[in-house]
């Protein structure tokens, strides 16, 4: 091999190593992560943030399970990055841990008050099949005293947000596209693109996609108050 070819090979190898290390750093610090129910290496799945918050408060899994109404086994697997949670369950978990859902999902608060989430940068989670199999992402920033949490949810005709969901605060729905059906106690609402609905989060609710592709903006206000 000539000296020129050898030097070129060494430069290419070094570039690949640097790129790989840079990507790994971005994943580990939570600024970038693959989509899906598992976000990548330790430190990027919401369960790892939840485990750190639980340990800071010296809570056992049994105590956290009692506070959230979730099983100890499910919480344990969630903390290990093996299970996902629905939005309603994440809200109850955040309440119990005195934090925000957006914090558990790896969002951060901007120093200047400006918070922008680009479509390509959203960290999308998929709830487990037993919890409806829908996709969602946090939009709001991780600010402890923020008055609301915002999410974008994607449903299809086979997915739903688990029946009997409940949490604190007030829930607001705005349908961005498609059609969604919401069961609320004695009411069944059918909302289409551009429609809006609002109700107390403590009322058990079941949200189901009707069309092949439905996107809704959900804002939960006052859940941590």
Measure the CA–CA gap between 44 and 28, rounded to whole angstroms. 6
The residue among 1 and 128 whose pLDDT is bigger is 128
Structural domain range at position 171: 46-221
Question: Is residue 2 domain-resident?
Answer: no
pTM recorded for the entire structure? 0.64
Range in 23-32, 169-178, 198-207 with the lowest mean pLDDT: 23-32
pLDDT score at 216: 92
Q: Check residue 73 and give its pLDDT.
A: 94
Count of the separate structural domains present in the chain = 1
Question: What is the pLDDT, as a whole number, of residue 130?
Answer: 78
Local structure of 144: helix, strand or coil: coil
Domain-embedded: residue 8: no
- Report the C-alpha gap between 24 and 165 in whole angstroms: 36
CATH of the domain at 62: 2.60.120.10
In a domain, 91, yes or no: yes
Residue 6, domain member (yes or no): no
161 domain residue, yes or no: yes
| 188 within domain boundaries | yes
Domain assignment present for residue 23? The answer is no
**Do the domain assignments include residue 27?**
no
Closest of 203, 166, 35 to residue 91, by C-alpha: 166
147 versus 158: the higher-pLDDT residue is 158
Cross-sheet strand order for the sheet of 160-165: 160-165, 205-209, 179-184, 187-192
pLDDT tens digits for range 161-198: 867 677 778 889 999 999 999 998 888 999 999 999 99
Lowest mean pLDDT among 66-75, 110-119, 156-165: 110-119
């Amino acid at each position: 091999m000539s000296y020129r070819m050898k030097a070129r090979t060494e430069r290419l190898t070094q570039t690949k190593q640097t790129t790989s290390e840079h990507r790994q750093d971005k994943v580990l610090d939570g600024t970038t992560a693959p989509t899906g129910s598992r976000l990548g290496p330790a430190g990027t799945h919401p369960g790892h943030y939840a485990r750190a918050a639980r340990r800071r408060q010296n809570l056992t899994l049994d105590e956290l399970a009692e506070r959230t109404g979730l099983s100890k086994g499910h919480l344990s697997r969630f903390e290990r990055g093996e299970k996902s949670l629905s939005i309603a369950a994440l809200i109850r978990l955040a309440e119990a841990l005195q934090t925000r859902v957006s914090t558990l999902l790896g969002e951060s608060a901007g120093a200047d008050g400006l918070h922008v989430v680009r479509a390509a940068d959203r960290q999308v989670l998929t709830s487990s099949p037993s919890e409806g199999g829908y996709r969602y992402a946090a939009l709001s920033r991780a600010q402890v005293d923020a008055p609301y949490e915002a999410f974008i949810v994607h449903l299809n005709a086979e997915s739903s947000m688990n029946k009997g969901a409940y949490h604190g605060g007030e829930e607001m729905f705005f349908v961005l596209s498609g059609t969604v059906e919401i069961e609320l106690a004695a009411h069944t609402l059918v909302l289409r693109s551009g429609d809006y609905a609002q109700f107390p989060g403590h009322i058990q609710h079941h949200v189901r996609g009707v069309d092949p592709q439905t996107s809704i903006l959900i804002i939960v206000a006052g859940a941590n108050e």
